[in-house]
Amino acid sequence: MSMDRRESLKLMALASVALAVPGCARSDVEHAALHAADRVARQLPDVDRAPTTLTPAEYRTVEVLVDWIIPADDRSGSATDAGVPAFIDFMLEDAPDLAVPVRGGLGWLNAETTRRTGVLFADAATADQQALLDEIAWPEVAAPEMEPGVRFFTLMRDLTASGFFSSKIGFEDLGYLGNRPQGGWDGCPPEAHEHLGLDTP
Protein backbone atom coordinates (compact mmCIF):
# COMPACT_ATOMS: atom_id res chain seq x y z
CA MET A 1 0.00 0.00 0.00
CA SER A 2 1.51 3.32 -1.07
CA MET A 3 -0.53 5.48 1.30
CA ASP A 4 1.22 6.67 4.46
CA ARG A 5 -0.18 6.61 8.00
CA ARG A 6 -1.31 10.24 7.90
CA GLU A 7 -3.29 9.65 4.71
CA SER A 8 -4.86 6.56 6.25
CA LEU A 9 -5.95 8.55 9.32
CA LYS A 10 -7.41 11.28 7.11
CA LEU A 11 -9.46 8.74 5.21
CA MET A 12 -10.50 7.04 8.45
CA ALA A 13 -11.87 10.34 9.76
CA LEU A 14 -13.76 10.99 6.53
CA ALA A 15 -15.04 7.42 6.39
CA SER A 16 -16.51 7.77 9.87
CA VAL A 17 -18.50 10.73 8.57
CA ALA A 18 -19.67 8.67 5.59
CA LEU A 19 -21.10 5.99 7.86
CA ALA A 20 -23.50 8.55 9.30
CA VAL A 21 -24.75 9.72 5.90
CA PRO A 22 -26.56 6.87 4.13
CA GLY A 23 -26.58 7.15 0.36
CA CYS A 24 -23.83 9.76 0.16
CA ALA A 25 -21.04 9.19 -2.29
CA ARG A 26 -17.49 9.40 -1.01
CA SER A 27 -16.95 12.62 -2.97
CA ASP A 28 -20.09 14.18 -1.46
CA VAL A 29 -18.94 13.39 2.06
CA GLU A 30 -15.44 14.79 1.49
CA HIS A 31 -16.88 17.95 -0.05
CA ALA A 32 -19.26 18.45 2.89
CA ALA A 33 -16.57 17.73 5.45
CA LEU A 34 -14.15 20.24 3.96
CA HIS A 35 -16.73 22.99 3.61
CA ALA A 36 -17.80 22.50 7.23
CA ALA A 37 -14.21 23.05 8.33
CA ASP A 38 -14.48 26.81 8.88
CA ARG A 39 -17.46 26.36 11.22
CA VAL A 40 -15.72 23.59 13.13
CA ALA A 41 -12.51 25.58 13.56
CA ARG A 42 -14.32 28.47 15.21
CA GLN A 43 -15.58 26.11 17.93
CA LEU A 44 -12.24 24.48 18.76
CA PRO A 45 -10.21 25.34 21.88
CA ASP A 46 -6.93 27.24 21.77
CA VAL A 47 -3.84 25.07 21.42
CA ASP A 48 -2.47 26.36 24.74
CA ARG A 49 -5.75 25.96 26.64
CA ALA A 50 -5.14 24.64 30.16
CA PRO A 51 -6.75 21.23 30.77
CA THR A 52 -9.99 21.27 32.74
CA THR A 53 -10.82 17.54 32.82
CA LEU A 54 -7.54 15.68 32.60
CA THR A 55 -4.96 15.96 35.37
CA PRO A 56 -1.55 17.41 34.43
CA ALA A 57 -0.08 13.88 34.45
CA GLU A 58 -2.89 12.54 32.25
CA TYR A 59 -2.52 15.49 29.89
CA ARG A 60 1.21 14.87 29.55
CA THR A 61 0.51 11.23 28.69
CA VAL A 62 -1.98 12.36 26.03
CA GLU A 63 0.61 14.71 24.52
CA VAL A 64 3.12 11.90 24.13
CA LEU A 65 0.56 9.38 22.87
CA VAL A 66 -1.07 11.56 20.22
CA ASP A 67 2.34 12.42 18.78
CA TRP A 68 2.95 8.71 18.31
CA ILE A 69 -0.33 8.53 16.39
CA ILE A 70 0.34 11.60 14.23
CA PRO A 71 3.99 12.66 14.45
CA ALA A 72 5.43 15.70 12.73
CA ASP A 73 6.72 15.07 9.24
CA ASP A 74 8.01 17.07 6.29
CA ARG A 75 4.45 18.09 5.41
CA SER A 76 3.06 19.38 8.69
CA GLY A 77 3.35 19.46 12.46
CA SER A 78 2.42 16.78 14.96
CA ALA A 79 -0.88 16.17 16.73
CA THR A 80 0.33 18.23 19.69
CA ASP A 81 1.38 21.06 17.34
CA ALA A 82 -2.20 20.99 16.05
CA GLY A 83 -3.69 21.25 19.56
CA VAL A 84 -5.06 17.71 19.75
CA PRO A 85 -4.48 17.34 23.52
CA ALA A 86 -6.52 20.52 24.13
CA PHE A 87 -9.19 19.21 21.73
CA ILE A 88 -9.44 15.91 23.61
CA ASP A 89 -9.67 17.58 27.02
CA PHE A 90 -12.28 19.95 25.59
CA MET A 91 -14.31 16.99 24.30
CA LEU A 92 -14.25 15.30 27.71
CA GLU A 93 -15.76 18.31 29.51
CA ASP A 94 -19.30 17.57 28.39
CA ALA A 95 -18.96 13.87 27.62
CA PRO A 96 -18.59 11.83 30.81
CA ASP A 97 -19.29 8.67 28.82
CA LEU A 98 -16.14 9.48 26.84
CA ALA A 99 -14.12 10.65 29.84
CA VAL A 100 -14.41 7.31 31.61
CA PRO A 101 -12.79 5.17 28.87
CA VAL A 102 -10.17 7.81 28.06
CA ARG A 103 -9.06 8.30 31.66
CA GLY A 104 -9.34 4.60 32.38
CA GLY A 105 -7.24 3.85 29.31
CA LEU A 106 -4.59 6.34 30.34
CA GLY A 107 -4.47 4.59 33.69
CA TRP A 108 -4.08 1.21 31.96
CA LEU A 109 -1.32 2.56 29.73
CA ASN A 110 0.64 3.95 32.67
CA ALA A 111 0.11 0.84 34.79
CA GLU A 112 1.28 -1.48 32.01
CA THR A 113 4.30 0.69 31.25
CA THR A 114 5.20 0.88 34.94
CA ARG A 115 4.88 -2.90 35.25
CA ARG A 116 7.32 -3.34 32.37
CA THR A 117 9.76 -0.49 32.90
CA GLY A 118 9.23 0.97 36.35
CA VAL A 119 8.22 4.41 34.99
CA LEU A 120 5.12 6.06 33.55
CA PHE A 121 4.45 5.96 29.81
CA ALA A 122 5.52 9.56 29.20
CA ASP A 123 8.81 8.92 31.01
CA ALA A 124 9.62 5.62 29.33
CA ALA A 125 12.28 5.24 26.67
CA THR A 126 11.08 5.68 23.10
CA ALA A 127 11.75 2.02 22.33
CA ASP A 128 9.66 0.91 25.32
CA GLN A 129 6.79 3.21 24.32
CA GLN A 130 6.83 1.84 20.79
CA ALA A 131 7.01 -1.77 21.95
CA LEU A 132 3.84 -1.39 24.01
CA LEU A 133 1.98 0.56 21.33
CA ASP A 134 2.87 -2.07 18.75
CA GLU A 135 1.01 -4.59 20.90
CA ILE A 136 -2.22 -2.59 21.02
CA ALA A 137 -2.30 -0.71 17.69
CA TRP A 138 -3.25 -3.71 15.53
CA PRO A 139 -6.49 -5.33 16.80
CA GLU A 140 -6.29 -8.25 14.36
CA VAL A 141 -3.05 -9.56 15.87
CA ALA A 142 -3.23 -8.30 19.46
CA ALA A 143 -3.08 -10.84 22.27
CA PRO A 144 -6.41 -11.35 24.12
CA GLU A 145 -4.97 -10.00 27.38
CA MET A 146 -4.20 -6.71 25.61
CA GLU A 147 -7.85 -6.08 24.71
CA PRO A 148 -8.29 -3.16 27.18
CA GLY A 149 -5.29 -1.46 25.59
CA VAL A 150 -6.55 -2.19 22.09
CA ARG A 151 -9.91 -0.57 22.81
CA PHE A 152 -8.22 2.45 24.37
CA PHE A 153 -5.76 2.93 21.53
CA THR A 154 -8.52 2.66 18.92
CA LEU A 155 -10.50 5.35 20.74
CA MET A 156 -7.48 7.62 21.02
CA ARG A 157 -6.58 7.12 17.37
CA ASP A 158 -10.10 8.22 16.36
CA LEU A 159 -10.02 11.23 18.69
CA THR A 160 -6.57 12.20 17.47
CA ALA A 161 -7.59 12.01 13.81
CA SER A 162 -10.74 14.04 14.52
CA GLY A 163 -8.83 16.71 16.41
CA PHE A 164 -5.96 16.92 13.96
CA PHE A 165 -8.09 17.19 10.83
CA SER A 166 -10.31 19.81 12.49
CA SER A 167 -7.32 22.06 13.17
CA LYS A 168 -5.65 24.70 11.02
CA ILE A 169 -2.67 22.38 10.53
CA GLY A 170 -5.04 19.59 9.58
CA PHE A 171 -6.92 21.78 7.08
CA GLU A 172 -3.62 22.58 5.40
CA ASP A 173 -2.70 18.90 5.41
CA LEU A 174 -6.02 18.12 3.70
CA GLY A 175 -5.33 20.79 1.10
CA TYR A 176 -8.47 22.66 2.15
CA LEU A 177 -8.67 25.88 0.13
CA GLY A 178 -11.71 27.46 1.73
CA ASN A 179 -15.12 28.24 0.32
CA ARG A 180 -14.05 29.31 -3.14
CA PRO A 181 -14.79 28.14 -6.70
CA GLN A 182 -12.59 25.29 -7.92
CA GLY A 183 -11.62 24.56 -11.49
CA GLY A 184 -12.40 20.88 -11.12
CA TRP A 185 -11.92 17.79 -9.01
CA ASP A 186 -10.34 14.57 -10.19
CA GLY A 187 -12.22 12.39 -7.74
CA CYS A 188 -11.08 9.99 -5.08
CA PRO A 189 -7.84 8.18 -6.08
CA PRO A 190 -8.08 4.40 -6.66
CA GLU A 191 -5.71 3.63 -3.77
CA ALA A 192 -8.09 5.44 -1.38
CA HIS A 193 -11.01 3.38 -2.67
CA GLU A 194 -8.97 0.25 -2.14
CA HIS A 195 -7.98 1.34 1.36
CA LEU A 196 -11.64 1.91 2.30
CA GLY A 197 -12.77 -1.35 0.70
CA LEU A 198 -14.89 0.42 -1.92
CA ASP A 199 -15.33 -0.38 -5.58
CA THR A 200 -12.92 1.57 -7.73
CA PRO A 201 -14.54 4.25 -9.91
pTM: 0.68
Residue 197 banded pLDDT, cuts 50, 70, 90:
confident
Q: What backbone torsions phi and psi does residue 56 show, to the nearest 5 degrees?
A: -55, -40
Query: CA triplet 25, 181, 19: central angle to 5 degrees?
Result: 20
Q: Report the range of poorest mean pLDDT among 21-25, 81-85, 134-138.
A: 21-25
Chain centroid to CA 2? 20
Q: What backbone torsions phi and psi does residue 161 show, to the nearest 5 degrees?
A: -65, -40
**Cα(161)–Cα(23) distance, rounded to whole angstroms?**
24
Q: Report the range of poorest mean pLDDT among 8-22, 36-50, 146-160.
A: 8-22
Asked whether 73 and 6 are in contact (CB, 8 A), the reply is yes
Residue 57 has pLDDT above 90, yes or no: yes
